Amino acid sequence: MIGALVVLLGCQLAGEIVVRLLGLPLPGPVVGAALLAAWLLWRGIPDFLPPVAHGVLRNLSLLFVPAAVGVVQYGPVLAEYGAALAITLVISIVLALSATAIAFRLLVRLSQRGDD
pLDDT at 19: 92
Structural domain total, the chain? 2
Q: Are residues 40 and 19 in the same domain?
A: yes
CA–CA separation, 61 vs 14, rounded Å?
24
CA–CA separation, 30 vs 1, rounded Å?
23
Q: Are residues 113 and 56 in the same domain?
A: no
CA–CA separation, 103 vs 111, rounded Å?
12
Tens digits of residue pLDDT in 89-112: 999 999 999 999 999 999 999 888
Q: Are residues 53 and 81 in the same domain?
A: no
Domain carrying residue 79: 74-116
Determine if the pTM surpasses 0.85: no
CA–CA separation, 96 vs 105, rounded Å?
14
Q: Are residues 68 and 84 in the same domain?
A: no
pLDDT at 22: 94
Tens digits of residue pLDDT in 21-77: 999 888 888 899 999 999 989 988 888 888 988 888 898 888 777 777 777 787 888
The separation between CA 106 and the C-alpha centre of its own chain, rounded to angstroms, equals 24
pLDDT at 116: 62
